[in-house]
Amino acid sequence: MTTTRRDTYTPESLLAVAVRVFNERGYDGTSMEHLSKAAGISKSSIYHHVTGKEELLRRAVSRALDGLFGILAEEHARVGTAVQRLEHVTRRTVEVLIAELPYVTLLLRVRGNTDTERWAMERRREFDQQVADLLKEAVADGDLRSDVELRLATRLLFGMINSIVEWYRPDARGASSGAQVADAVVQLAFAGLRSGS
Amino acid sequence: MTTTRRDTYTPESLLAVAVRVFNERGYDGTSMEHLSKAAGISKSSIYHHVTGKEELLRRAVSRALDGLFGILAEEHARVGTAVQRLEHVTRRTVEVLIAELPYVTLLLRVRGNTDTERWAMERRREFDQQVADLLKEAVADGDLRSDVELRLATRLLFGMINSIVEWYRPDARGASSGAQVADAVVQLAFAGLRSGS
DNA sequence: AGAGTAACCGAACGATCGGTCGGGACAAGA
DNA sequence: TCTTGTCCCGACCGATCGTTCGGTTACTCT
């Protein structure tokens, strides 16, 4: 057996360190020297585990995208009324976003400077499009208001959800759980801020 | 008089070019070589107009912050009930964000790698705090729901508003005006997605 | 015509970039 | 004990980074 102890780096454990630094300094603002300092090994040693800086980015955004697309495969995202499915996807997106916070954070910040970044942006657009279709269906059912333009509403909904990566810190004192945040998002998105609704 | 023609760069006109490139590639991902290509002048010529790359960033985020803090100085942001003032600030924030889109976009993306970036983040936090206080007051008045945690609601509201920089393109066909987007944001934020409210 | 200056340029600076290379330390299996 | 492979290192590579410098062009004012 080779499932013995691991006090050395694996590609996965190195990825966790790298993604943390990427999110602190930005991908372009992070040098391999920064990563080596954060990981506690030399710059050249990093290349023993991964082929380079871009592989770390690719692994990270892949993990985020897998989590998101996994939601669309869930049963509650495929059966039921459109508005019910939309609510489920909304809630689960918040939960996945929080469960895979650093990876999704990185995904949401890529600018398209390299092939990897452009691929990530494209796949992310596919996910957004599928949710947009769901919202469109719910409006057609008469379950969602139709006076606000569809594309606008979709983008504002995603804006609200995706903003979580900018402020949610799981280790903060009095931090809400993923489910609590998901509740708040669903409440605000579907019923609004105003009282007595 | 020296108010004659200007077919040459000023610090301001150069800034407009730089900010556009910064937003396309990210600040760290943009080299002075990129800027010189986009501006159509040589790399060294840029230093005739500005002291360096960081001054361009400082000028850009200053302009964005001036626009935002200007809102809080407006009369409708200082008199009236809290919920009315909040609604005004919300609407005007959307409008300013769209009017100064590239500058605010840059402001919202700084990561804190330099002194300039950290200063920008601090001033932005001050603005957010003042709006948060307004929301708190409106909840105390009973005009906004109190079952969703205050900090959570504030952040989701800002998330929705700030997400505009990620998708709003004024030159797109069928693009909404700033006022129209502001309407949609106010509608969704205060009344929610659900129909019949 | 001559002086002054704003706008610009190519070449080069030291520093840092992502990545390569040859080899050492160490544990496991024979 | 000797090999094999994992994990890591310092030294170094060419390229690119933000910035500086000396100098040229072209326009304005006298």
Phi, psi of B74 (to 5 degrees): -70, 155
- Using the Cβ of A129 and the Cβ atoms of chain B, whether some distance falls under 8 Å is answered with no
Give the tens place of pLDDT for each residue, B54-73.
999 999 999 999 999 999 99
Please, how many CA atoms are within 13 Å of residue B52, restricted to the half-sphere of its CB?
Answer: 2
Name the burial class of residue B174, with classes exposed (0-12), middle (13-18) and buried (19+) by CB atoms within 10 angstroms of its CB: exposed
The Cα A85–Cα A3 span in angstroms is: 41
The Cα B22–Cα B38 span in angstroms is: 11
Contact B192, B148 (CB under 8 A): no
Please name the residue of chain B whose CA is at the shortest distance from the CA of residue A163: B159
Give the tens place of pLDDT for each residue, A132-190.
999 999 999 999 988 888 889 999 999 999 999 999 999 998 888 999 999 999 999 98
Q: Is residue A176 part of a domain?
A: yes
The reply to whether A184 and A91 lie within a common domain is: yes
Domain count, chain B: 1
Q: Which residue is nearest to nucleotide C28 (CA to C1')?
A: A2
Axis-axis angle for helices A11-25, A32-39 (nearest 10): 120
User: Of A5-9, A69-73, A87-91, where does mean pLDDT reach its minimum?
Assistant: A5-9
Please, how many CA atoms are within 13 Å of residue B101, restricted to the half-sphere of its CB?
Answer: 16
Contact B116, B58 (CB under 8 A): yes
DSSP 8-state assignment for residue B144: B
Q: Is residue B167 part of a domain?
A: yes
pLDDT, residue A8, reads 87
The Cα A137–Cα B111 span in angstroms is: 38
pLDDT, residue B19, reads 98
Which whole number is the average pLDDT over B134-160? Answer: 92
The Cα B176–Cα B98 span in angstroms is: 11
Q: Is residue A177 part of a domain?
A: yes
Q: Which residue is nearest to nucleotide D17 (CA to C1')?
A: B31
Q: Is residue B7 part of a domain?
A: no
Contact A94, A185 (CB under 8 A): yes
The Cα A27–Cα A18 span in angstroms is: 9
Q: Is residue B187 part of a domain?
A: yes
Give the tens place of pLDDT for each residue, A94-132.
999 999 999 999 999 999 999 999 999 999 999 999 999
The Cα A78–Cα A67 span in angstroms is: 16
Q: Between A3 and A65, where is the model more confident?
A: A65
The reply to whether A45 and A62 lie within a common domain is: no
The reply to whether A111 and A171 lie within a common domain is: yes
The Cα B181–Cα B187 span in angstroms is: 10
Q: Would the CB atoms of B28 and A29 count as touching at under 8 Å?
A: yes
Residue-by-residue DSSP string for B94-110? HHHHHHTHHHHHHHHH-
From chain B residues 23-42, the ones with a CB under 8 A of any chain A CB are 24-26, 28-29
Q: Which two tokens stand for residue A32?
A: 């391999």
Domain hosting residue A38, numbered range: 7-50
Which residue is associated with the tokens 């579907």?
A190
Q: Is residue A44 part of a domain?
A: yes
Which residue is associated with the tokens 């800034």?
B15
Give the tens place of pLDDT for each residue, A26-81.
999 999 999 999 999 999 999 999 999 999 999 999 999 999 999 999 999 999 99
Displacement of CA A99 from its chain's centroid (Å): 9
Q: Is residue A1 part of a domain?
A: no
Write out chain A residues lying below 8 Å of B160, CB-based: 156, 159-160, 163
Which residues is A194 bridged to in the sheet?
A: B144
Query: Could you tell me the CATH number of the domain that includes residue A27?
Result: 1.10.10.60
> Is the pLDDT reported for residue A5 higher than 90?
no
Query: Could you tell me the CATH number of the domain that includes residue B117?
Result: 1.10.357.10
**Would you call A31 helix, strand, or coil by DSSP?**
coil
Which residues is B194 bridged to in the sheet?
A: A144
Which of the 45-84 residues on chain B come under 7 Å of nucleic strand D at their beta carbon? 47, 51-54
The reply to whether A87 and A63 lie within a common domain is: yes
The nucleotide closest to B9 (CA, C1' atoms): C7
The Cα A109–Cα A23 span in angstroms is: 9
The reply to whether A44 and A62 lie within a common domain is: no
Using the structure, give the distance in angstroms from the CA atom of B1 to the C1' atom of D29, rounded to a whole number.
Answer: 12
Which residue is associated with the tokens 């610090």?
B11
The reply to whether A35 and A131 lie within a common domain is: no
> Is the pLDDT reported for residue B5 higher than 70?
no
Q: Is residue A19 part of a domain?
A: yes
Q: How many percent of chain B have pLDDT more than 70?
A: 95
